[in-house]
Amino acid sequence: MIKITAASGITHQSTGALHITLLAITLLTSLFIFSNKAMAADMANGKNLYMAHCSGCHGGNGISFMQQVPNLARSGILAQTDPVLIDKILAGKNAMPPFFGILNDRQIRDIIVYARSLM
Ligand code: HEC
C-alpha cells in the first residue's frame, strides 16, 4: 500500500516535470519562430522604406548613378555602427536631405539592415 503511494507520487512528479519541460520547449520554439518573423518583417519594411526614400539617389541596388552620391553597396559606408548611421541619416549631409521628422530610428535601422544585404 505504502509502496504504491510512493510509486504514484514519483509518477506524478515526473509528469509534472515533463509538463514543465514541454512548456519550456513550446515557449522557446514560439520565441524562436516569433523572432525570425520579426527579422523578416524588418527586412521587408526596410526594403519598402529604402525604395521610397533612398533608392532615388543611392540606387535600387545600392549603386548610385550620380557622381556626388556614394554607393551604399560595395562600400565601407554601412560598416559604420547603427547609432552613427542613424544620426547621420537623421541629420543629412550636403546634397543628402535630413530625415529627422520623416523616418524614426526604428525605420532607419530597418533600412540599414536591408541596405547591408545589397550586393
Ligand atoms: C537627394 C539624394 C539623397 C537621398 C534621397 C538620400 N541620400 Fe544618402 N547621401 C546622398 C549624398 C549626396 C551623400 C553624400 C553626402 C556627402 O558626404 O557630401 C549621401 C550619403 C549617405 C551616407 C553616408 C554618410 C556618411 O558620411 O557616412 C549614408 C549612410 C546615406 N547617404 C544613407 C541614405 C539613406 C539610408 C537614405 C534613405 C533614408 C538616403 N541616404 C537618402 C544623397 C541622398
The average pLDDT across 58-76 equals 96
Residue 44 near residue 106 (C-beta atoms within 8 A): no
- Between the CA of 114 and the centroid of ligand 1 the distance, in Å, is 15
State the distance from the centre of ligand 1 to the C-alpha of 79, rounded, in angstroms: 14
Pairwise pLDDT comparison (97 vs 18), residue with the higher score: 97
- Predicted local confidence at residue 17, as pLDDT: 73
Q: Mutation test of ligand 1: which of 48, 57, 106, 112 has the most ligand atoms closer than 8 Å to its C-beta? A: 57
pLDDT for the residue 29: 60
Q: Is 73 in contact with 62 (CB distance < 8 Å)?
A: yes
Closest residue to atom 24 of ligand 1, CA basis:
88
CATH number, position 93:
1.10.760.10
Alpha carbon distances (Å) from 19 to 8, 26, 27, 31, 113: 16, 10, 12, 18, 39
Q: What average pLDDT does the chain have? A: 83
pLDDT grade for 30, boundaries at 50, 70 and 90:
low
Whole-number Cα distances in Å, 65 to 3, 41, 60: 83, 29, 10
**Structural domains in the chain (count):** 1
Phi, psi of 112 (to 5 degrees): -60, -45
Q: How far is the CA of 92 from the centre of ligand 1 (A)?
A: 7
User: What predicted TM-score, i.e. pTM, was given to this entire model?
Assistant: 0.76
89 lines ligand 1 (CB under 6 A): yes
Domain containing 60: what range?
2-116
